[in-house]
Structure 1
Amino acid sequence: MAGDTMTQFPTGIGTSDADHISLLGHDLAGELLGSLTFGELAYWLATKRRPTPSQLRVFDAVLVSLADHGFTPTAIAARLTLYSAPDSLQGAIAAGLLGGGSRFLGVTEDTGTFLHASVADLGDTAGWDDAAWDELATSTLTAARGAGKRIPGLGHPVHKVTDPRTAVMFAIADEEGLKGPHLRLFEAIGRVHPEIIGRTLPLNGAGVAGAALADAGLPLALLRGFALLARTAGLIGHLAEELEDPIGPDVYATVDRNAVYTSNALEQKE
């Protein structure tokens, strides 16, 4: 406090007093509860604008596509943390989310950012045909390869030929009129990459999610956050199952009982 002026901390998210909760400038209890879906709220919170029905459908589809992918390292980490600290559900969820990086979940952000670097300054591309997109994809991949950069969104550890989510996400975006430059460039990368990198890889679901979110108007800096938001639901499912039918003890015991000591290079020198 300086003099008679109270310090203020402006926010466009929410405030509350003894009788009211305000969220995004609306009365939470009187206006939003029962009339707003969680997906719509998440989009609105991130962009400060309500999504169109088309944007919401694409956004919800992305969240569903990223919610779970089986016993990924993130799910295993969450389950083992719950086994180690059964009194800390929040710790187990956090452990799973902390594993969201360049191999799992972070690909959503990496792909969106990679594509945006090539489409940000294109202007109107409504009249572009596949040949024009293929040309841009070729130059984009060639430049990335020349700089020694990896191509995010290509390949998957399980789906070696086709990621089943990819075609569906392209179709949904197309149906909603939201197959924009990020998705079109990503689609073109799928067509031209074999001749550039020397092998054929599938466009993965996390990559198409990043392209779809970018075309749906979500901020690039938050794309990983939406992947983590989606995976939170999946982790809660894994933890609910872990409480009923745990695998954590078996995973721990299997690794621990089969651990074999080997001397390291430093000890060998000594």
Structure 2
Amino acid sequence: MRDQEPAPVERATRRLSTKETAELLGVKPETVYAYVSRGQLSSRRGQGGRGSTFDAAEVEALARRNRRESTPGSSPDELSVRTRITLIDEDRYYFRGVDATQLAARHTYEEVAEWLWTGTLRPGARFTAPKESLAAARRAVSALPEHSSPVDRLRVAAVAAATADPLRYDLSEQSVLGAARALIPTLATAPPLLRATYTDGAPIARRLWGRLSHKEPDEASLRVLDMALALLVDHDLAASTLAVRVASSARAHTYAAVSAGLGVLEGPLHGAASGLAHRMLVDVLDRGSAGLVVADELRAGRRVPGLGHRLYKGEDPRAQALFAALEELPAAHAALAAARDVVATTARHTDLHANVDLALAVLTTSHGMPAEAGETIFAVARTAGWIAHALEEYGERPLRMRPTGHYVGVRPPQPLPTQTGRE
């Protein structure tokens, strides 16, 4: 009979200190505890009850997940970033799992922003900025030429506000949230004042209205503007949001990260698209029909503004919600009819639906706002989403947003170039 083999001795699990865990993950110690609160790591009190320790295998697994640049099944050429902020699924979109259009219908822009940042609703939330921040932004913006674009003004205001905040380099969650609640009202008051309709402590929509229109706003119109801000607060990894995450990955402070987003937003394929739709609707209203206007757009080799979205097969849910709200405003009926005329005209040969740029154009044209007003609304709204993504990225491994270039130039070694110049 064979001797019975001794039972294997259970191997002790290797434990790491908080400092060792932070170094392995490439994050700050406070981020380690953020992972614990999110359920991504488990901790145990160290010997003598001092400090926390972490399972080395669990930490190494999390580090491997953080290093992954794409999810399983995705194309190797497609960058994928894990996020808990916005989900776009089957012609709907959700903020932290909650239908975004329902949130915007029931809550203010400020409340939706707080939900994105913290996962907690703060009824009656209001954002205020220190006098130093507002004064610095106004001085900087007032020095710009008159023809400066809305995004020029917002970008300068963001930089000026940063210089007035000595805590801007503190990337802890509470400090970033404090900067966010000050930066948004600073940006909302950066455009030139057209009508004094706001007071300190008023909602962002009311403060912004006086910078967009000479007309006196009624409460219904202000509510539609507030709803537009809430609907536009985030939309997954749009180009500007990706720029914000790249800046945040390099640990740029909040103001610099927002400035990166503003730089990308100015393109005609992103934040400036509503201005093109605005000008088209004005043309339709002037000429009385969409047929000739659409024909002119196509003859010039341009796409018809305000139609189609690569993420939605049907109508953009943001456009649906905003159109429904605009229906309640008598002042918007003519512009709504013009927008429907554009959609019906193009529907004869294409299957493109209205997107949020067309709905935003209805809001701006029907209230006497300039063509650039939609760009301002978009930028102020999206600032909250950018900050939510910055907060999320600050909790990740630094500099992870670093793709590898695929070189397709001539192969080395090549001879030194010949210097040419005038005799």
Tell me if both proteins adopt one fold, taking TM over 0.5 as the criterion: yes
Residue 379 (structure 2) aligns with: 228
Give structure 1 stretches of 5+ with no counterpart: 1-8, 10-22, 123-135
How many residues are paired up? Answer: 221
**Identical residues among aligned pairs (%):** 24
Residue 182 (structure 1) aligns with: 335
Structure 1 counterpart of 2:323, one-letter code: F
- Structure 1 distance, partners of 2:367, 2:213, is 11
Give structure 2 stretches of 5+ with no counterpart: 1-141, 143-192, 418-423
Is residue 2:300 matched to residue 1:147? yes
Is residue 2:236 matched to residue 1:73? no
Is residue 2:271 matched to residue 1:105? yes
- SS of residue matched to 1:180: helix
- SS of residue matched to 2:330: coil
User: Alpha carbons of 1:137 and 1:248: their partners in 2 closer, same or farther (altered >3 Å)?
Assistant: farther
Q: Is this contact kept in 1: 2:315–2:353, CA < 8 A?
A: yes
Is residue 2:166 matched to residue 1:166? no
Residue 256 (structure 2) aligns with: 91
Larger gyration radius, structure 1 or structure 2: 2
The equivalent position to 2:223 in structure 1, one of 44, 57, 62, is: 57
Deviation at 1:180, TM superposition (A): 3.0
- SS of residue matched to 1:192: helix
Deviation at 1:174, TM superposition (A): 0.8
Deviation at 1:188, TM superposition (A): 1.8
Residue 248 (structure 2) aligns with: 82
Q: Is this contact kept in 1: 2:247–2:260, CA < 8 A?
A: yes
TM-score normalized with structure 1 length: 0.72
Residue 135 (structure 2) aligns with: none
User: Alpha carbons of 1:48 and 1:142: their partners in 2 closer, same or farther (altered >3 Å)?
Assistant: closer
- Structure 2 distance, partners of 1:25, 1:145, is 38
TM-score normalized with structure 2 length: 0.47
- SS of residue matched to 1:220: coil
* Misfit runs of 4+, over 4 Å: 23-26
Higher helix residue share: 1
Deviation at 1:40, TM superposition (A): 0.5
Q: Is this contact kept in 2: 1:112–1:182, CA < 8 A?
A: no
CA RMSD of aligned residues (A): 2.9
Residue 161 (structure 2) aligns with: none
Q: Is this contact kept in 1: 2:195–2:214, CA < 8 A?
A: no
Deviation at 1:71, TM superposition (A): 0.9
Deviation at 1:48, TM superposition (A): 4.8
Residue 207 (structure 1) aligns with: 358
- SS of residue matched to 1:62: helix
- Structure 2 distance, partners of 1:24, 1:139, is 34
User: Alpha carbons of 1:25 and 1:210: their partners in 2 closer, same or farther (altered >3 Å)?
Assistant: closer
